[in-house]
A and B are shown apart, each in its own frame.
Chain A
Amino acid sequence: MIDPSDFLEVDAPVLLSGSLAALACGLLGNFLVLQRRALVVDAVGHAVLPGIVVGFLVTGTTSEAAMFAGALAASVLAVAMIEFLQRAVRIEPGAAIAVVLTSLFALGVVVLERSDARSIHLDVQHALMGSLETVVWLGAEDWSAIFDPERLLRLPSMLVRLLVVTVVVVTVLFALAKEFTMVVFDPAHARSLGIPVRFLSLLFLLLCAVTAVASFQAVGAILTVAMFVCPAATARMFTDRLRVQIALSALVALLAGASGYALAAWAPLLCGFERGFGAAGGIALAAGILQTLAVVFAPRYGILVRRERV
C-alpha cells in the first residue's frame, strides 16, 4: 500500500518533474533529430555554466529566478552564436556547435574560478547533474491535497515551470506541426511558398533553449541531451509516419520518466540496498535501455530483422 504522504511529498514531484522534462524535450526532439541538430542541445547545456555564474555575479543571489534567467540568456546567446557562425561565416554545423560549446563552457570555468563564491559551486553542480531530489511538495500529506488550491500553490516551482513549458511545447507543436515539417523536409520549397522559414527555425530553437534550461534544473545539462534524442530516435525505429512518431515519442518519454524513477528509487531497495540513486540518472538510463531494445528488436528497422533479411 502506498503511503500518500510519502508519495505526494517525495515521489510524485520527482516522478512528475522527470517525466515532464522527458516529455517536453522528447517532443521537440522529433524535429531536432530530423534536422540532425541534436547537438545544439549539448551546446546549450554547456552554455548554461557561464549563464549561471554571470547570473549570480550580476544579481548577487543564488535564487532560482536569477539562475534560470542567467541560464536562459546564455542558452539563447549560444543558439544565436551557432546560427551566426553557420550563416554569416559559413562554418560547418558540427564545427559551429563545437566551437560555441567549448568556448562558452571555458568562459564559465574561468569566471567561476575568478569569483570566490562558494555557494555558487553547488548550483553549478545542480545545473550540470540535475537536482530532481530537491523537489518536494511540502505539506501534501494526503490525497485531498491534489484538490486543495492552497496546497497546490505550494507545488515546487521547478515542477510548475516544467508544467508550463510542457503546455507551451505541446500547444506550439500542435499548432505548427505542418509548418515545422515543411521547413525541415524542404526549406527551399517552404520559402518559395512564402512560409517564413528563418522565423520558424529561430522560434523552434528558442523553444528548444527554454525547454532545455527548464529541463537542466531537473535532470541536468548533461542528461538533457538524452531526453531530446532518445524518445524520438526510439519512436523512429517503429514508424515511417511523423505523426505516429511524435505520439510514440511522447509515450516513450513518459515511460522513460516513470520506469527511470522506479529504477532509481525503488529497484535498489528491492535488491536490498539501503538507498536508491539519482532519478535523473535513472531516467536517462531507462531512455538508453528503451532505445537499445528498439534498435535490436524493432519489427522493420531492428538489427535482428535486418540481419535476417540479408
Chain B
Amino acid sequence: MSVLSSVSRAWAEAGEPPALEVRGLFVAYDDRTVLEGVDFRAEAGSLVGIVGPNGAGKSTFLKAVLDLVPRLSGAIRVFGRPLDKRAGLVAYVPQRASLEWDFPITAVEVVAMGLYRRIGWFRPVRKHHLRTALARLERVGLADLADRPVGELSGGQRQRLLLARALAQDARLYLLDEPLAGIDAASERLVLDLFAELRAGGATVVVVHHDLDTVADRFEEVLLLNRRAIAFGPPSRVLTAANLARAYGTPVPVRSWNDRESLAPASSA
C-alpha cells in the first residue's frame, strides 16, 4: 500500500491534477443545509474513505459531486476539469437499497448498462456488449449467475453486480456509496481486493463507509464528515477521540488507530 501511495504522491508532484477536488461545497434540501463548506481532495490513484454519522451528508456529498443534487455553491474539478467535462471519467455506485430489485432484468443486462456510453442512444445492446458485460461479471465472481434475474441475488451478490456495472464503465474515478454495508464476508473480501486491483490500474476509489473500526485498515485517507468536513487526512490523524466526538456529538470508543498508541482499550472494537 505504501508503494502505491508513494506512486500517487509522485504523480501529484509531477503536476498530475487530483482525481477529485472539491472546494467550499454547500448543499441544502429546502431550508435545511446538508453540507456546509466541505473541502476534499483525492489524489489520482488513492483510496479514500468518507465516514460520519447518519444524516451527515455522506451520500449527498457523492451526489453533489456527480451533479445529481443541486449545489448552492462550491467548485468541483475532476482530473482538473469542470464537472460537465467529466463524461466517461467517473463511475458511480449508488446505495444498494435505493434500487428497485424486483425488476424483470438479468444480471448481465444490468452490467451492460455500464456500457451505455459505448453503445449510444437508440442503439440496442448487442451480443458483443453482453460478452464484455460477462467479462466484468467474471471479475466480481458472478459469471455463473449472469442469466439470473436480479431479484434472486443475495445482498452481497447485488453489491458485486453494481460494482461490475461500474467496472464496465472503464472509469478512472469510482464513487461508491456504502458498498461494504450488510454484505457477507466473502463478498467483502472480493470487493476490497477489487479496490486494490483498481488502484493498481491507476484508478481512484472514493468510498462512503459506515464502519469506523475498519476505516484505518482499508483507506489511506479519510474524510470525517458531519455536514462540515471535521477532519481530512490519514486515518491515524483524522480518527482521534477529539475529532470523533466532534463528528458524532458523543464520545466514540476509539481503537488503536494511532500507530498502536491506543487512546482507549482495544477490546471496545
A residues engaging B (CB < 8 A)?
34, 90, 175-179, 181-182, 184-186, 188-195, 236, 239-242, 244-245
- Enumerate B188-227 residues with CB–CB distance to A below 8 Å: none
A239 to B123, CA, bound (A): 24
Residues of B contacting A90 with CB < 8 Å? 30
Do A182 and B116 form a contact, CB below 8 Å, given A176-B122, A188-B98, A194-B87? Answer: yes
Instruction: Choose among A34, A90, A190 the residue with the greatest number of B CB atoms under 10 Å from its CB.
Output: A34
Report yes or no: B92 in contact with A241, Cβ–Cβ below 8 A: no
Chain A min CB distance to B127 (Å)? 14
How many chain B residues touch A (CB < 8 A): the figure is: 33
Contacts A177-B124, A186-B98, A190-B113 known; 7 new A-B pairs at CB < 8 A: A34-B103, A181-B105, A184-B103, A188-B63, A189-B113, A193-B169, A242-B104
Report yes or no: A34 in contact with B100, Cβ–Cβ below 8 A: yes
From the candidates B66, B104, B117, name the one contacting A241 in the complex (CB within 8 A).
B104
Residues of B contacting A184 with CB < 8 Å? 100, 103
B residues engaging A (CB < 8 A)?
30, 63, 66-68, 87, 90-94, 98-100, 103-106, 109-110, 113, 116-117, 119, 121-125, 149, 151, 165, 169
A229 to B125, CA, bound (A): 27
A123 to B63, CA, bound (A): 49
Report yes or no: A185 in contact with B121, Cβ–Cβ below 8 A: no
Please give me the residue from chain B that is nearest to A193 by CB atom: B116
Instruction: Choose among A176, A179, A186 the residue with the greatest number of B CB atoms under 10 Å from its CB.
Output: A186
18 contacts between A and B (CB under 8 A): A34-B103, A90-B30, A175-B122, A177-B124, A178-B124, A182-B113, A188-B63, A189-B113, A191-B66, A193-B169, A194-B87, A240-B104, A240-B149, A241-B104, A241-B105, A242-B103, A242-B105, A245-B104
Report yes or no: A188 in contact with B122, Cβ–Cβ below 8 A: no
Residues of A contacting B87 with CB < 8 Å? 194
Residues of A contacting B66 with CB < 8 Å? 191-192
Total residue contacts A-B, CB cutoff 8 A: 72
Residues of B contacting A239 with CB < 8 Å? 104
Chain A min CB distance to B107 (Å)? 11
Please give me the residue from chain A that is nearest to B119 by CB atom: A178
Residues of A contacting B90 with CB < 8 Å? 192
From the candidates A193, A242, A245, name the one contacting B117 in the complex (CB within 8 A).
A193
Residues of A contacting B93 with CB < 8 Å? 189
